[in-house]
Amino acid sequence: MSQRPIIGVVPLVDYKLESLWMLPGYFDAVAEAGGVPVMLPLTADAEALSRALDVVDGVVVGGGQDVAPALYGERGADAAALCGELCPERDAMEALLVPELVARDVPTLGICRGIQVANAVLGGTLWQDLPRQRPSAVEHHGKPPYDQPVHSVEVLARTPLAACVGAGELAVNSYHHQALRDMAPGLEVMAAAADGVVEAVWRPASRFFWAVQWHPEFAHKVDEPSRKIFSALVAAARA
């Protein structure tokens, strides 16, 4: 029997409680898919981050605060006017982490903030606030319970996501106000909403580098496609 792969998960940050924490869905979904979830250190120390990556087989870059506009080239006094709470610690960590994951070819799954920060760090840009910058009839910011579908996406044929969950319409849960604007070089679209907002990407040059805008960690208990996404990560990490 092959060993269960270790999957590092980027920590969530709570400023009010001065704590690092984790939503159980990330760990539960990884464990149910056959992986061993562990929380990565919150660090911008390149040596410490490199050492942490030495002992994991895959990584989940999950949700959290808005991505700082400086990561995608927008600077100035009003650059973050449309953003919510920012997290400089995660920005600094993930600015190092994402290129290292690519360089090492570590199986990676980005979720919500994860798709956004990956796109920003790799050279793309973001919409800071969809309702004000790119309004549409699609509701991207759902309400509880967060495991229920909010809208549908079109999974593109002949993409890895289509091979995993099937091509065509897929109902997804959604909870975000930022989204991909200009795609980073090297990333390709796997799914989009009816309003054209990119909902899933992959990096063909990587062994497994997927990112989705919705939240399979919330839906995995009630949604088979969500479970399949985590299973695909764990299978890549095991290989």
**Residues noted as catalytic:** 112, 215, 217
Cis peptide before 145 (omega within 30 of 0): yes
Would you tell me how many other CB atoms lie within 10 Å of the CB of residue 96? 17
Name the residue among 208, 202, 205 with its Cα closest to residue 183.
Answer: 202
Task: Count CA atoms within 13 Å of residue 63 on its CB side.
Answer: 19
Shortest CA distance to 70 belongs to which of 40, 52, 95? 95
Alpha carbon of residue 145 to chain centroid: 20
Please check whether residue 217 is in contact with residue 111, taking contact to mean a CB–CB distance below 8 angstroms.
yes
Q: Is 189 helix (H, G, I), strand (E, B) or coil?
A: strand
**What is the bridge-based pairing of β-strands 179-180 and 126-127?**
antiparallel
Query: What H or E segment, with its residue span, contains residue 188?
Result: strand 188-193
d(CA 18, CA 73): 29
Structure tokens at 100: 């290292």
